[in-house]
Amino acid sequence: MQESKRFWCGVIYFWLWNWSIFGGYFLFFCPTLPLVILSPILYRKWTDLVVTYWQFYITTLLKVIWGCKIRVTGDPIHTNETVVLISNHRTRVDWNFLWPAMWHAVKDEGKIAYGTKYILKEAIKHIPGAGWVMQLSFYLFINRNWERDQNIMKSYVDYVAIHNYKHIMIIFPEGTDLTAKTKESSDRYAEKNGLPKYKHVLHPRTTGFMYLIEEMQKNKCVDAIYDVSLLYPDACPQNEKELFFTGRFPKTVLVHLVRYSVFDLPTTKEGLKNFLEQRWAEKEKTIQEYRSTGRFLHGDVLDSGTAPLSYLFAFFFWLVVPTFSFGLLFFSRTYRYIALVHTALLLGLRFLPSGWQNFDVIAFKLRRVVFRFFWNKKIK
């Protein structure tokens, strides 16, 4: 009986999750495509607003419907900063619980339009619905081809620097989630390089982290790094199947944030490498202590203080959005054409080196060139 209940909880969550994503994609993203050219900054603010409010919907589902408590402690995140979060990668679905964590951790005015991004594996961007929205929301997708990944990160840094774009970028330096197989690989790496073997985390990959932070430092477009320790005290859904189709929701998720100002960070590759490795050594000790004693890191509890009615409104809002969206698709030929053209463009751009992100950056740069040309012509 309990397994059947969990199964249906997972299936309902999966349906609500995808129903809201497809509805939001067709209603909020497809009609606003021209803004990419006309006003890239407005387009980015609009997509951040939509996706952040959707993240609040996920917070609502986990907290109110499924009773999952996301306990966030440590240093708050401020909306006037561009920050990079480095987190251990316990499961393939950590992102599902970090979204609500960010809702609680972010303070100050404007949090509703303060975007959270991830660096993820390239295959994810091809997932219908979710992958499309992630592309449109300026997530980064890498495929472990360093030359290509380096170009993707460079384009991202240039974009952030030119826009002075304030947001959160979450990265998982381990590169994959913790399983028996990945732990064996991490242990072999430790033996080869004379490093200690870890039980609760994997040794981080430092190349991408060093390059990204060094480039952001050079372009003065990062304000802080947040070290995130993520821990599941009870149930731990290892993958999407366990989350969506067995309903293995944790009762509690512990998230602790420690802020490191950009002025306190090393400025050399070797220094950044040591910084990252030290953080992971600390994570191993932290999680081991919790498993042994039940004590976790102490700090101020970060809670959004959201009113109960706001949760209720978000729940019904994201039920109505898909209903209205699919109604438009059914009754309006013009709306169907808009959705078809947008989706075809998105699918076509998958053949470019970095998909939509590449188009987004190119469109912005092209707009600058055109405006600069006409401005100089006007002055002459």
Predicted local confidence at residue 214, as pLDDT: 97
- % of residues, the chain, pLDDT over 70: 93
- Mean predicted confidence (pLDDT) in 238-262: 93
pLDDT tens digits for 176-200? 999 999 999 999 999 999 999 999 9
Return the closest-CA partner of residue 255 out of 77, 111, 82, 10: 77
pLDDT higher than threshold 60 for residue 204:
yes
Higher pLDDT, 37 or 320: 320
pLDDT tens digits for 290-335? 999 988 888 888 888 888 899 999 999 999 999 999 999 999 999 9
Q: Name the pTM for this structure.
A: 0.92
pLDDT tens digits for 109-128? 889 999 999 999 988 888 99
CA distance 20 to 51: 11
pLDDT higher than threshold 60 for residue 377:
no
Instruction: Give domain limits for the chain.
Output: 2-379
CA distance 118 to 302: 21
Banded model confidence at residue 350, pLDDT cuts 50, 70, 90 = confident
Mean pLDDT estimate for the chain: 91
Phi, psi at 82, each rounded to 5°: -100, 120
Predicted local confidence at residue 65, as pLDDT: 82
Higher pLDDT, 238 or 65: 238
Contact status, residue 245 vs residue 11, Cβ threshold 8 Å: yes
**Pair of tokens at residue 150:** 């380096």
pLDDT higher than threshold 90 for residue 361:
no
pLDDT higher than threshold 90 for residue 130:
yes
CA distance 125 to 302: 31
Banded model confidence at residue 371, pLDDT cuts 50, 70, 90 = low
pLDDT higher than threshold 80 for residue 3:
no
pLDDT higher than threshold 70 for residue 352:
no
CB atoms near residue 301 (< 10 Å): 10
Predicted local confidence at residue 329, as pLDDT: 95
CA distance 314 to 359: 32
- Mean predicted confidence (pLDDT) in 2-25: 91
Return the closest-CA partner of residue 231 out of 253, 259, 199, 258: 253
- % of residues, the chain, pLDDT over 90: 71
Predicted local confidence at residue 359, as pLDDT: 66
Predicted local confidence at residue 376, as pLDDT: 59
Taking CA 138 as the corner, what is the angle to CA 173 and CA 120, rounded to the nearest 5 degrees?
Answer: 30
